[in-house]
Structure 1
Amino acid sequence: MSDFYHVSVLLEEAVDGLAPRSGGVYVDCTLGGAGHSKLILERTAPDGRLIAIDQDLQAIANAKRVLADFTGRFRIVHANFRELKRIVEEYAAEGVDGILFDLGVSSPQLDEGERGFSYMRDAPLDMRMDRTQPFSAYDLVNTWSESQIAEVIFRYGEERWGKRIAEFIVQARKKGPIQTTGQLVDIIKAAIPAAARREGPHPAKRTFQALRIAVNDELNALEQALQDAVDCLKPSGRVSIITFHSLEDRIAKHVLQAAAKGCICPPELPVCQCGRQPKLKLVARKPILPSEAEVERNPRARSAKLRIGERI
């Protein structure tokens, strides 16, 4: 097994946002390279506890080594974070003091060709974060209808050429299955007009993002998990959410703002009839961004945003 090396983004800021303390119980919903988990355990010594969740068995195996010095204080669960409520009910029924989400793809998943996430490396079409699951990017690209593929690329990739890319994918697969990332990149490049390819990011970036989100059902899982996170927090417990693209950030912002909202009665009513009370307060109105120094050290941090909420 190759090393699972990942540089955690907004490491100090996200963990500081949880206000960690000794004796507290915390959840890292995206274990990844275990950078945030390790810092949480350090900050909650000597008796803070951590529940860490990840879909990726390679990440879990690596994390057990990284966190070996804290044996007895953490539990790792192989699951999708959409199961957060069940996991907290099982291991911390009284609720938790902090929950962290570090969204997006870990560096090893991007860098290792065999995972099929990267448009820069030729590899089998895969893109599964949990490789025990049966559905992959190969299945989506080769079996979904043209309209379904176009919808995925447009909605999750915000790619204006989504319809044309889907058309080219369906035409190409008539000659045989699309099996590798390299084949798919060539199809995308052929579909996007040359003038458009010369502008902006790599022409396959948005489509690959869209396929990854669809294969892993990321946005539906995220919205469910964030809503459950608010309910799993003890009073004064906090949630830190690091997002990497606008779709994720929009969901995080919406869930936090909705939880922070009180009365939803029509303004013409003189007295509140709904009785709704806010569950959360926003620790910062605007997202926290990485410093210039962090972006220089790790260009993948450029698009990161951190939002923090505190349970009332």
Structure 2
Amino acid sequence: MYHEHYGLVRSPFEMTPDPAFLYLGDAHREGLATLVYGVRARKGFVLLTGEVGTGKTTLLHALLSQLDRETLSAFIFNPKLEPLDFFRMMFDEFGIERECKSKAEYLLTLNHFLIERLEHDLATLLIVDEAQNLSAEMLEEIRLLSNLETPSSKLIQIMLVGQPELWEMLSRPELRQLRQRIVLRHRLCPFDARECADYVEERLRLAGYTGKGLFKKKALEEIHRATGGIPRLINIVCDGALLLGFGRDLQILGPDAVREVAADLELAPDSDAANAATDSEEPTRSESKQGGLRSWLRSRHTGRV
């Protein structure tokens, strides 16, 4: 919608985890190194946690792009499954075509499959996303998969990915055996102010922007304040600010535009935007435009667009 206005060749703040727009802050770079090491060194269980929107899925896509082609991975993103359905989905992801009717059949088939891969020195990775939604029963089933091993090596590498409450779940006494098997753990943190500014400017550059400072320095500071440095929220706020600027024929965006968008998303009190309007560098919007933009931004925030 606003590409031509800003001289962009593509949208800089889409919600999909596009590897072409990968930006790694310090915590993300450390996290990626931890994940890659865990798989290549065949450490067994690895845990990745982070708040909603901090970039866990993006990091997983970056991990998969760094692994060699022979590493076979299964990505389970809907863990609210019964054990047999979980095994069926895992077999489908691994390309194991044999029909199994019981858990015992699944485990025997999987064990044979993994041993064959190990004989050819091939790594096998199981990633379970949104693992905080797993039941205690399903977590125990996944723990039992780690029993598939030889005296010298784990047959399968397992990566549990989820929100911080996943670690709290693993603190339960009945899950202590699983907790003790986690060899590597990393928690993703939001961007600090510097990383937030670098993230915004890097995504604009990758989208084809060749100007200088589309967002003013104060606007970048306001983006970090409003979003807490969470990448998903940064994308939503920046996308909304670009749309607002397009609607008002602005080439440079100041902090007032960011405050206005953040207020519409209820990321900041409406009073912030109202108070800032007294020294605003942008024209005041009409009531009809205000309602339309607010509805559009909120639909983006809730994923209804």
Is TM > 0.5 for Structure 1 vs Structure 2? Answer: no
Greater helix share, structure number: 2
TM-score, L = length of structure 1: 0.30
Structure showing greater radius of gyration is 2
Greater strand share, structure number: 1
TM-score, L = length of structure 2: 0.31
